[in-house]
Amino acid sequence: MDFSEGDLEAFRPRLRHKVCFRVGFACPDVDDIVQETMIRFLASVRNGKLESLDSVGAYLNGICQNVILEYRRRWARDGGDSSDNGERADPHTSEMDLFEMREAIALGLSELSERDREILRAFYLEERPKSEILAMTGLADENFRVVLCRAKERFRRIYNSAVKHRSASYQ
């Protein structure tokens, strides 16, 4: 079985609505969940696990459900840190706190791979357009979201461990 790009793109809005309904419309990871679902779907189609075209919708729904459950488990396991729920930094943060945050960010970026560091810096700090980042890194459009999501997750783990380590050393 083979699906054209148009066929796959027809699934995306329905999947996105399902994911938004299940995890919340304000969830920042909706597109990452949809992308992961599509990747798993294509991998299973290539491996011949989809037996009939009549069951595409149900099969895709099952994969999406599994990805959402994995997302929720990971979110609960990691404690649902404030970076996932849209909270913003206090505008009255002291200079010392800002310095420490910048230091932790620099440390986190330095521990990432060159590609992850380059993508995060270009996308978030320099706010370059996605097309420019794709040309710069040589990534395909389909891979960009996954790479960005994984780079954010790696950075988040490094940053949170640095902040926890620093707060433990003050006690």
The string of pLDDT tens digits covering residues 96-147 is: 777 777 777 888 888 899 999 999 888 887 888 888 999 999 988 888 889 9
**Predicted local distance difference test score (pLDDT) of residue 33:** 93
- Residue 75, C-beta contacts closer than 8 angstroms, at least 6 positions apart: 84
User: What is the CATH T-level fold of the domain 5-77, as seen in this structure?
Assistant: Rna Polymerase Sigma Factor; Chain: A (1.10.1740)
**Predicted local distance difference test score (pLDDT) of residue 85:** 43
Least confident residue range of 37-41, 92-96, 116-120, 146-150: 92-96
- Position 84, amino acid: D
Proportion of the chain above pLDDT 90, given as a percent? 20
Least confident residue range of 32-46, 67-81, 145-159: 67-81
Least confident residue range of 11-15, 86-90, 116-120, 127-131: 86-90
Domain with residues 92-170, CATH architecture? Orthogonal Bundle (1.10)
Proportion of the chain above pLDDT 70, given as a percent? 85
Separation between Cα atoms, residue 32 and residue 28, nearest integer Å:
8
**Predicted local distance difference test score (pLDDT) of residue 90:** 55
**Predicted local distance difference test score (pLDDT) of residue 10:** 86
- Tell me the domain boundaries of the chain: 5-77, 92-170
**Predicted local distance difference test score (pLDDT) of residue 171:** 52
Per-chain mean pLDDT for the chain: 82
Count CA atoms closer than 13 A to 165's CA, side-chain side. 11
- Residue 37, C-beta contacts closer than 8 angstroms, at least 6 positions apart: 15, 19, 60, 63, 64, 67
